[in-house]
Amino acid sequence: MAKLSLFARRRRRVRTALKARAFGRPRLSVHRSGRHMYAQIIDDATGRTLAAASTLTKGSTGPGATTDAAAKVGTELAEAAKKAGVTAVVFDRGGFLFHGRVKALADAAREGGLEF
């Protein structure tokens, strides 16, 4: 078996802990690249994406490498989740640390009405 990178090990550790305390709630998964932010709400029981938002969606302004852009993605995701009938999720930060853009997205999603 190939040796996992530190990032992959952290991602696996976070995801395993989430599955233990998810209690059937959908997962809010966050991905951060150098230029953009992506977030989606996934129902792991059926394997379907219920809602998604990113800095690449129509109407976004430029690259999303700022905390303001990440907050906008969080707000858009909360609105999309309401339309899909989702109110409570578990937050999956992947292997990313919970600060900066990831924290800004989470705070905006909470303000938008998502519970986690």
- Please report, in tens digits, the pLDDT of each residue of the chain (116 residues total): 689 999 999 999 999 999 888 888 999 999 999 999 999 999 999 999 999 999 997 766 566 689 999 999 999 999 999 999 999 999 999 999 999 999 999 999 999 999 99
Task: Look at residue 69 and tell me if it is in a domain.
Answer: yes
Number of domains forming the structure of the chain: 1
| Domain membership flag for residue 91 | yes
Closest among 79, 78, 41, 76 to 56, alpha carbons compared: 76
Residue 1 lies in a domain: no
Provide the CATH number for the domain around residue 44.
3.30.420.100
Q: Is 77 a member of any domain?
A: yes
Does a structural domain hold residue 59? Answer: yes
What is the 3-state secondary structure of the chain? CCCCCHHHHHHHHHHHHHHHHCCCCCEEEEEECCCCEEEEEEECCCCEEEEEEECCCCCCCCCCCCHHHHHHHHHHHHHHHHHHCCCECEEECCCCCCCCHHHHHHHHHHHCCCEC
- Whole-prediction pTM: 0.90
CA distance 69 to 23: 31
Structural domain includes residue 116? no
- Is residue 63 in some structural domain? yes
- Domain containing 40 equals 6-111
